[in-house]
Amino acid sequence: MTNEFMEMIACTTPDQVFEQVKRWSSDLTDRQHLVRSTILDIHADIERLLKQILYRHQLILVFESDDTAEYEEHKRALQKSITGLNFATVHRILRPALDAFPSPDLRDISGINELRNNVTHAGRLGDILYKNRSPFEDPDCLAQVFLEGWAIRKELGHFNE
């Protein structure tokens, strides 16, 4: 295994790479990195589930001919198309059905998406709020984000069934 890129940034160990790249890439503290990555992971998991739901419900529209290879190609094309959609588009398509589903937990999807967008695009993390609190400064708020994300994922599972 070559370490040519490690050498280009004057690092000889994996720990040096992780530390140097983090230091050069951002001025976030370890805790801020943890909160940020947690929010991004929660959002990504919800997005993955929404795309699975959209795929499952769109798949019934794909004509299933006797040619298995052709059908599989159409399924791959649908998957690729849905994978390429952004979160907001997928949520906008599914929202009428999600709103009709008897679960208040699914109403928090927009808030989680807004939080993720703010985390990704905001200048100062301290200014980012979720339901009027900062997950970067208030551990109870981060716990709320986690629990609401967990509840959304659980209810999306029920919705998908």
Instruction: Give the model confidence (pLDDT) of 48-87 as tens digits.
Output: 999 999 999 999 888 877 888 988 999 999 999 999 999 9
Domain boundaries, the chain: 29-160
Instruction: Give the model confidence (pLDDT) of 6-15 as tens digits.
Output: 989 999 999 9
Listed residue (87, 76, 97) closest to 48, CA to CA? 87
Whether 124 has a pLDDT exceeding 90, the answer reads no
pLDDT of residue 1: 65
Instruction: Give the model confidence (pLDDT) of 128-140 as tens digits.
Output: 999 999 999 999 9
Instruction: Give the model confidence (pLDDT) of 88-115 as tens digits.
Output: 999 999 999 999 999 999 999 999 999 9
Q: Which two tokens stand for residue 41?
A: 């992971």
